[in-house]
Amino acid sequence: IGITTIVISVSIVCLFLVYNSSKTKLLDNRLKSGNREVREIGKLLETQLKSGLTEEKVIDNLQQSIVNMDVGVGFICMYDTLGVELCHPNPAFIGKKIYEGDSYVRNLENKNTMSFLEILKSGKMDNGIRNFSTITDRDSEIINVYPVVGTNWMVASHVNIPALQNDLSGLYYKLIVIFLISTLLIIFSSYFLMRILYKKYEFVIDKELNELNEEVSLLNALNHQLVESQNKVQTQNQNTFDSETAKERIVTYQKDQVVSIK
């Protein structure tokens, strides 16, 4: 019971530590991959502009490459610094404007919070967790933005956090299974090891107990003999006393005669 309690307690603590560490690592990897993705797309757009393509053609090329992309997990889009949507997997979103109170982004490094529109207006590379207002009724997401040099464009990558939570849930259940199996193995192996060690110890104890039992039996025999001896002595003394008290006369000498005295 003691070993089981200790192993289970340690396993639960380790499970949460590993899960939280994996969760943080996964979020960090998503941010880094998002930064890398928007930077590569931004550099590609800059190259197209430098090659002589018009802004309209570059925007159209990006739109054609992302159209009908699955937005359930993650997707790429592009805004201008005024908050107008220039490219989106769903063409219905093109031309829509981001407003001040629509959503806020919390930076994971410095913990600062800014509206998404402020980040777009700054024209600087940024990332964080984007939370939407209750009016828009949209799920939180990981956002990365990258400015395209020479334009007012901001390429953005979006990763849906509920979709990420599904991955984390799968990871959590896998960790539970792994820790459960390892915990049971530790408990049963410890139990059998203790049984093996205890059998050796039990053999030594049984041997000592047998020796003690022999000594106790010897002491009991000696005590019995001593009691019998004491009883015999008491019986002899009693008989001697009874025989002496039973005499009524004694014979003795008085001068040259033998006389009897009561």
Mean of all residue pLDDT scores within the chain:
84
Give yes or no for residue 242 having a pLDDT over 70: no
pLDDT in tens, 83-93: 999 999 888 88
Average pLDDT value for residue range 9-24: 82
Q: Is the pLDDT of residue 192 over 80?
A: yes
Q: What pLDDT does 136 receive?
A: 59
With a cut of 70, say whether residue 159 has pLDDT above it.
yes
Query: What per-residue confidence (pLDDT) applies to 243?
Result: 57
Average confidence (pLDDT) over 18-38 = 81
Nearest Cα neighbor of 125 from 95, 155, 88, 163 is 155
Predicted TM-score of the model (pTM):
0.59
Query: How far is residue 94's CA from residue 79's CA, in Å, rounded to a whole number?
Result: 9
Which pLDDT value is given to residue 145?
A: 92
What is the model's pLDDT at position 58?
A: 92
Q: What percent of the chain has pLDDT over 90?
A: 16
* Percent helix, percent strand, percent coil in the chain, to nearest 5: 60, 20, 20
pLDDT of amino acid 240: 65
Contact 61, 47 (CB under 8 A): no
Q: Is the pLDDT of residue 153 over 90?
A: yes
Q: Look at residue 106 in the predicted model and tell me its pLDDT.
A: 86
Which range scores top for mean pLDDT: 72-76, 112-116, 134-138? 112-116
Residue 135 pLDDT > 60, yes or no?
Answer: no
Q: How many CB atoms lie within 10 A of CB 147?
A: 19
Backbone angles phi, psi at 252, to 5 degrees: -150, 175
3-state SS, residue 147: strand
- Determine the distance from the C-alpha atom of residue 214 to the mean position of all C-alpha atoms in its chain, rounded to a whole number: 54
- Reported as a pLDDT band with limits 50, 70 and 90, residue 100 is confident
Neighbours of 63 (CB within 10 A): 17
**Cβ burial 167-196 (10 Å sphere, 16+ → b, else e):** eeeeebeebeeebeeebeebbeeeeeeeee
User: Who's near 179: CB < 8 A, 6+ residues apart?
Assistant: 11, 14, 15
pLDDT digits (tens, 9 = 90+) for 52-75: 889 999 999 999 988 887 777 788
| pLDDT tens by residue, 216-240 | 888 888 888 888 888 887 877 776 6
| Per-residue pLDDT, 1 | 82
pLDDT of residue 155: 93
Report which of residues 34 and 151 the model is more confident about: 151
- Spatial separation of the C-alpha atoms in residues 214 and 178, rounded to whole Å: 54
pLDDT of residue 205: 87
